Amino acid sequence: MTPPRRGRPLPALLLTAALTAALALTAGCASRPAGTTGAPPPSATLAPMEPPPIGDVPRLIRVDDRALPIEAYLLSGEQFRQLDAAQGVLVTRCVRGFGLDFSAPAPTAPTTTQTTHRYDPVEISDVSANGYHSPDRDRGKKPGAAPSLSPDVSTVLGAGLGPDGRPAPGTAAEYRGRRLPSGGCIADAQRQLSARGGTGRDADVAVGVNYEGFERSRQDPRVLAVFREWSGCMAERGYSYGTPGDALKDPRWGATATPSAEEIATATADVECKARVNAVGVWFTVESAYEQELIRQRLPELTTAKAANDAMLAVAASVTATGL
């Protein structure tokens, strides 16, 4: 299972890994929280909460085609792509305005969602080939070498805005006698996109619900009960694990670059037992119920955050509609 993915701050919008060195823009919004500035995951010692009621539990093997309640308040991969595209237009316009040849690379939308790897592994076709190793061939690879940018372009681009909303220290103020936007063209694009609200990242309150619902669901008695059923199923096949997470994190699997026959057999049993006891269906349903309750408690903040991001997306749509 993979922790919920987070959003990324506005200074980390835009332009693929190819320009990260010069633009400091690409952070991505994949399934891992590392390196982002959203709210930290809740600790294991959460305030007591009565387990929320749930209705009928569907039988589920996979959930990547389903959405969790909090996703209504989180920026999607496609929305990040829209923001990246608009920022690329603004940065390109700005740099060309100083007489330089520059085009921002076209952005791409992430292919993963909040639920893509949330309860992994869940696919027999995946584990039969990969065991517990990642099926994403490019995950963990370092980006290719950044193309060389001329000193002039780098100067005009600037380094964007820092977390405090101010330009990075040392950013040039002029280029060949012409005054640059404060922080350079990147910072100027960021300010334009956020002029009506929004920060270009998921609001801390939404990130917090995303993590807290996940953490609470893992401690819920109904999920723990289905984990015990799963553990019993695994024991029938000769495996001793208390929870699916224990199997996934078995240190033996990380010791080799490719999956062993034993790892594949274990992961296959894991997926088959999840299906047998409907672990994914129970877990997804329980987590959704916690999110719904957390959303109810924090609705004013979430509504404000969504309105701010919607405003930013509207600006982005206007920018890309006019083009270069």
Please write the tens of the pLDDT for every residue from 242-287.
Answer: 999 999 999 999 999 999 999 999 999 999 999 999 999 999 999 9
Given a cut of 50, is residue 221 above it in pLDDT? Answer: yes
Residue 112 — very low, low, confident or very high, per pLDDT cuts 50/70/90? confident
Token pair 């823009």 is found at: 25
Position 11 scores a pLDDT of 41
**What confidence score (pLDDT) does residue 148 get?**
80
What is the reported pLDDT for 169?
A: 84
Name 178's bridge partners: 175
Region 85-101: mean pLDDT is 97
- HSE-up (13 A, CA, CB side) for residue 19: 25
Q: Kindly state the tokens that stand for 251.
A: 């240190």
Asked, as a colleague might, if the bond just before 169 is cis with ω within 30 of 0, I would say no
Rg (CA), the chain: 23
Judged by phi (left if over 0) then psi (alpha if -120 to 50, else beta), residue 200 lies in: left
* Whole-prediction pTM: 0.84
Domain locations along the chain? 10-19+60-124+147-322
- The stretch 123-144 carries a mean pLDDT of 78
Cα–Cα distances (Å) from 251 to 14, 122, 131, 255, 256, in that order, read 36, 20, 13, 7, 10
68 vs 18: which has the higher pLDDT: 68
The pLDDT value recorded for residue 109 is 80
pLDDT at 1: 67
Confidence tier at 139 by pLDDT (50, 70, 90): low
User: Which of the two residues, 145 and 312, has the higher pLDDT score?
Assistant: 312
Q: Which candidate, 86, 100, 102, places its Cα nearest to that of 188?
A: 86
Q: Spell out a b/e string for 237-250, using b for 16 or more CB atoms within 10 Å of the CB, else e.
A: eebebebbeebbeb
pLDDT, average across residues 164-183: 92
**Mean pLDDT, residues 17-37 taken together:** 32
Q: Distance between the two ends of the chain, CA-based, in angstroms?
A: 43
pLDDT at 209: 97
